[in-house]
């Protein structure tokens, strides 16, 4: 089967009571999009990697990357390989000593790891046929931290110095969504 490369298009909070999120992947050279419902922790892990935020201590996906690095294991690609009853399945393709290892993964964890390893994410035509949504034109959609800055507490009246302090405190408290919003506000002002 031919693999089709995907890229992260958006990460947004759902409107359901269980606080689920949706990660939207899109064809790298096409107009189809795949929305995948994920949990809060996984959304946070993907947003951290997308926004290139470094927590003071490694989160689970950072820890996995560190372990792989220590044992000379390289994540080469992620493939979203199946869709059963609305649930996406994924495989991690790792290399160690010139041998390819195939590891089962939840799609959300696979995406979070791909973001950290900066490796490609693929799927198959059959998955895009089943779950893909076609857009007439490419539409840029902000990632969660950029989108959420408009809907969260207004920080526009704080000084840059105060925002920097608040961002450092949010990182210490492991409130990464708030840290990302504060970072975006600082960047926007500079």
Cα 173 to chain center, whole Å?
21
d(CA 122, CA 77): 8
pLDDT in tens, the chain (190 residues): 889 999 999 888 765 566 678 899 999 988 899 999 898 889 989 999 988 888 889 999 999 999 999 999 999 999 999 999 989 999 999 999 999 999 999 999 999 999 999 999 999 999 999 998 886 654 444 444 443 333 335 566 677 777 778 877 877 777 777 877 777 777 777 6
């Amino acid at each position: 089967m031919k693999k089709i490369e995907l890229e992260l298009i958006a990460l947004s909070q759902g409107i359901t009571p269980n606080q689920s999120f949706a990660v939207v992947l899109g064809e790298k050279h096409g107009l189809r999009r795949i929305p995948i419902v994920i949990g809060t922790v996984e959304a946070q892990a993907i947003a951290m990697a997308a926004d290139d935020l470094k927590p003071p201590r490694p989160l689970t996906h950072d820890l996995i990357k560190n372990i792989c690095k220590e044992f000379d294991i390289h994540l080469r690609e992620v493939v979203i390989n199946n869709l059963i009853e609305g649930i996406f399945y994924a495989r991690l393709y790792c290399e160690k000593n010139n041998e390819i290892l195939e590891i089962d993964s939840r799609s959300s964890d696979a995406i979070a790891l791909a973001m950290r390893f900066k490796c490609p994410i693929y799927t198959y035509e059959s998955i895009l046929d089943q779950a893909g949504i076609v857009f007439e034109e490419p539409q840029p959609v902000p990632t969660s931290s950029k989108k959420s800055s408009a809907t969260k507490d207004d920080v526009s009246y704080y000084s840059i110095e105060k925002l920097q302090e608040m961002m450092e405190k949010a990182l210490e408290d492991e409130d990464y969504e708030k840290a990302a919003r504060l970072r975006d506000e600082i960047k926007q002002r500079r």
